[in-house]
Amino acid sequence: MYVNLGELKEKGSFKKFSDSYSPDNIDYFNREVKIPADFAVSLTVYKDSDGFIFTGRLTGKFILECSRCLKEFEQEVDRELNFTIPLEDIDEISRVNISSYIHEVLILAIPIKALCDSDCKGICSQCGADLNQESCDCTQEDLDPRLAKLEQFFDES
């Protein structure tokens, strides 16, 4: 994502702009974070004596897989953007690439633990039932493995 800063010559001059940012799906510690649509970026950029100061917002959504029930769900993203690009980092004033700054904020918006709902009951580790939709009897039948062996012994004899 590029922005032309050539018109901001005086210190204190600024401009507002908006654009869309279209990242690829993100592989986040072996979890896939899907990006279903472009993110919206709205920014104001101010010229300072030794660089450009950007402030604004990044909005869009992720599709994440719930770490308990493994269902995909949408998560809204609405983050503040706040970064400065020093003049010495700029090669071409008419075409300044700001993607890496936006991407960094996007990565920080990914939750460490993805949950479709803080009350998600997950899936039964034994029968695979989605415990948000149905209940199962596994917990009641969840015998001590030694007792289960004993039970099997009596069944066979």
| Closer Cβ to Zn ion, 90 or 110, answer by number | 110
Q: How far is the CB of 28 from Zn ion (least distance, A)?
A: 17
Q: Are 102 and 21 in contact (CB under 8 A)?
A: yes
Among 89, 124, 141, 149, binds Zn ion (CB under 5 A): 124
Q: Does 123 sit near Zn ion (CB under 5 A)?
A: no
3-state secondary structure of 140: helix
Q: Does 127 sit near Zn ion (CB under 5 A)?
A: yes
Q: Does 63 sit near Zn ion (CB under 5 A)?
A: no
Nearest CA to 21 among 46, 58, 54? 58
End-to-end CA distance of the chain: 73
Instruction: Report the alpha-carbon distance of residue 65 to residue 116 in Å, rounded.
Output: 8
Site for Zn ion, rule CB under 5 A? 66, 68-69, 116, 120, 124, 126-127, 129, 136, 138
